[in-house]
Every structure is written in structure tokens, then in C-alpha cells.
Amino acid sequence: MRSWNLGEIETPAGSRSPVVLDSEESAARAVVIGLEPGQRLGEHEVKEHAFVLVLDGSVEVEAGGETAQAAAGTLFMFEPEERHAVSSSDGARLLLLLAPWPGPGHYRGGGDRREPTTAG
């Protein structure tokens, strides 16, 4: 068993310093992302099912021509290749789960790969 206290995981540079909690081949990937006030994850898509849980703060999510405001405790699910964007005017912390990891067609090129970080 592994566990993480999500409230203690720091993301000092906001969306530029996500923390990979776990990344199991053929299973799922869990990432904590911080959004500083005014930061935005611009419109993008992934090859996996993406679950985004608002841990702290509030966000605005855009997908499929819809916009939703969401507070802590809200969970979003996006289908593979569903385009979406997430922003926060006051700052927020998110838990991102991607499953299965990696999804069919996910590019697995070289480059820096952060090792999973565990806390707790």
C-alpha cells in the first residue's frame, strides 16, 4: 500500500512544477498540479481518460463548447482526445488521473521523465 497527503505536496511554480505521484505502465498515472492565480492550462487533449479533481481553490473548465465553474471537491472526466482547458483566477490545486497509462497512441519519446514522488 502507498499513500500520499495531497495537502502537503508542494507545486512551487504552479503548473510548471507538477508532481507525478505514481505512473504504472498499463494502469494509471496520478499527478498533482498547482495553478497559481491567473494560470491556465490551455486547450489540450490527451490519449487517456482524464479525471481532474479540484483539491483546493476554484477553477473554470472549458470543454465541448461548455464552461463550468468548480470549487474544491468537484471531479471532471474527459474522454480520450476530448479537448479541454482549465484556468484559475484565484489559484487551485488539482489531482489528475490518466487511465489507462499510457493510452493507445500516446507518444513515449525520450527526454526527461520525472520519477514518481511519494509522500507520507
The number of folded domains in the chain is 1
Whether 44 maps to a domain, the answer reads yes
Which residue in 118, 120, 108, 111 sits closest to 20, CA to CA?
118
User: Is residue 85 in a domain?
Assistant: yes
pLDDT of residue 79: 94
The alpha carbons of the chain give a radius of gyration, in whole angstroms, of: 14
Whether 7 maps to a domain, the answer reads: no
pLDDT in tens, 59-94: 999 999 999 999 999 999 999 999 999 999 999 999
Q: Which residues contact 2 (CB under 8 A, 6 or more apart)?
A: 22, 118
Instruction: Say if 86 falls within a structural domain.
Output: yes
* Residue 66 forms part of a structural domain: yes
Q: State which residues form the domain around 80.
A: 19-101
Tell me, what's the pLDDT at 111? 42
Asked whether residue 112 is assigned to any structural domain, the reply reads no
Domain assignment present for 93: yes
Q: Which SS3 state, helix, strand or coil, does residue 15 take? A: helix
- Residue scoring higher pLDDT (90 or 16): 90
Mean pLDDT for the chain overall: 87
Residue 114 reports pLDDT greater than 70: no
How much of the chain is in helix, strand and coil states, percent to nearest 5? 5, 50, 45
Residue 116: pLDDT band (50, 70, 90) is very low
Q: What is the pTM (predicted TM-score) of this model?
A: 0.81
The CATH number of residue 82's host domain is 2.60.120.10
Residue 13 belongs to some domain of the structure: no
